[in-house]
Structure 1
Amino acid sequence: MLDLVVLVSGGGTNLQAIIDAIDNGTITNARIRAVISNNQNAYALERARRHGIEAVCVSPKEYADRELFNQAFLDTVDAYQPGLIVLAGFLVVIPPAMIQKYEKKIINIHPSLIPSFCGTGYYGLKVHEAALTRGVKITGATVHYVDEGTDTGPILLQKAVEVREGDTPQELQRRVMEEAEWVILPEAIQLIANGRKEA
């Protein structure tokens, strides 16, 4: 059984996709041990509680400096002994010590087809605004392993989504979530949990 720790900062729609996939058997051989957020108001924490999953907040605001926060954050994650850490809309830079400790055991979902519209500054709606400004016809989402760079780790899965005439950033964001993110994030976890990808 693969123990997951899911890291979130906001609403938790990708978390919900994972919970639903475990509940309906799309993901087998895995369970969520805890959901950890840097934001005590993240609705994702409420989603976790409703499903009987431990929900924890470790906020940088509660620590005098980033180093103290990073250590507390790492200690909190370590307590659950995760086999896989899933970044599902987590807007905090992962400490290098954690990346080293959990090498090839951290995955992230990014709302574009990497290497397009990724790296520092590309998150949330900004990704979709950039795609529309550039005029691309195809966008999508990528699940990748996390390394020391920003969105630079090895790619696990990608799924393309069509950009439609007249799309707003919000419409495109919604379609990318529904057609790509909520599909390939559970799929990646299923592959890892059942030994078909490294973890």
Structure 2
Amino acid sequence: MSTPTHFNKKKIVVFASGSGTNAENIIKFFKKSSDASVVAVFSNKRSAKVLKRAHDLNVKALHFDRDALYNSYDVLHILEDLSPDLIVLAGFMWIFPEDILKQFPGKIVNIHPALLPKYGGKGMYGMNVHKAIIENKEKESGISIHFVNENYDEGEVIFQAKTNISEEDTPETLAAKIHKLEYKHFPEIIQQLLQKKNK
């Protein structure tokens, strides 16, 4: 009798604060995979579009408040029950609490829309990053996928991809270039990290 393909499926949990296009891309990528799947999406904003995207794709969608993340351990307890192999931050705006970092060492990754260590830190997210890069007349930008630690954007970098910036680029056109890199590379790097955990 053959073993069901879902028996040893790796579990991914995604945290997001906004629209959730990256989260949706990741969910769809792993719906085609027999090795892993997104089992839940968490958001700190009740109105975040990411919750509807998850619900529409039949993925558990959970909203939580600041107290549930930082004080009551509610989020930690749910994560312990889910026992994810990887926690993925895809546009999540709050710093991750120490209790979750300790419980899931080396299992929490984030994507940042710039080439770290440049343009990282508190307040450096989304269009804020792209505006700063264009204002400083940078010649290139890109994405950084990194492990999460107790500080914004300071964990070990796992992967970077670059794109050139032309004189005609605006923050909006740069954002479009960055999104393409995110959609292409983020699911692939998540898959590679999960495969490494198998070895």
Instruction: Give the alignment's TM-score, normalised by structure 1.
Output: 0.89
User: Comparing 145-154 with 83-92, which one deviates more in the overlay?
Assistant: 145-154
Corresponding residue pairs, total: 191
Q: CA–CA distance in 2 between the matches of 1:184 and 1:2?
A: 19
Q: Which residue is equivalent to 2:6? A: none
Match of 2:112 among 93, 110, 113: 110
Could you say which structure has the larger radius of gyration? Answer: 2
Q: Please, what is the CA RMSD of the aligned residues?
A: 1.9
**Do structure 1's residue 34 and structure 2's residue 40 form an aligned pair?**
yes
Superposed CA deviations along residues 167-194 of structure 1, whole A, max 9, x for unmatched, are 221221121011x111221011110121
Q: Which residue is equivalent to 2:71? A: 68
Deviation, structure 1 residue 197: 9.1
Q: Which residue is equivalent to 1:51? A: 57
Superposed CA deviations along residues 149-170 of structure 1, whole A, max 9, x for unmatched, are 2111111111101212222212
Q: What one-letter code is carried by the residue in structure 2 that aligns with 1:41?
A: S
Q: CA–CA distance in 2 between the matches of 1:81 and 1:24?
A: 22
Deviation, structure 1 residue 115: 1.1
8 Å Cα contact 2:69/2:97 also seen in 1: no
Task: Flag the structure with more relative contact order, 1 or 2, with Cα contacts below 8 A and sequence separation at least 6.
Answer: 1
Q: What one-letter code is carried by the residue in structure 1 that aligns with 2:187?
A: P
Deviation, structure 1 residue 66: 7.1
Deviation, structure 1 residue 116: 1.1
Dislocated runs of 4+, deviation >6 Å:
none
Q: CA–CA distance in 2 between the matches of 1:148 and 1:197?
A: 26
- Give percent identity, aligned residues only: 32
Q: Which residue is equivalent to 1:167? A: 169
In the TM superposition, 1:45-194 aligns within 5 A as: 45-60=51-66, 63=67, 67-68=70-71, 71-178=73-180, 180-194=181-195
Which SS does the other structure have where 2:141 is aligned? strand
Which SS does the other structure have where 2:116 is aligned? coil
Q: CA–CA distance in 2 between the matches of 1:163 and 1:73?
A: 40
Superposed CA deviations along residues 71-90 of structure 1, whole A, max 9, x for unmatched, are 22222322311110000000
Instruction: Give the alignment's TM-score, normalised by structure 2.
Output: 0.89
Q: CA–CA distance in 2 between the matches of 1:174 and 1:86?
A: 21
Which SS does the other structure have where 2:177 is aligned? helix
8 Å Cα contact 1:103/1:147 also seen in 2: no
Which SS does the other structure have where 1:195 is aligned? helix
Q: CA–CA distance in 2 between the matches of 1:194 and 1:78?
A: 21
Which SS does the other structure have where 1:34 is aligned? strand
Q: CA–CA distance in 1 between the matches of 2:60 and 2:103?
A: 23
Superposed CA deviations along residues 30-53 of structure 1, whole A, max 9, x for unmatched, are 111100100111111111111110
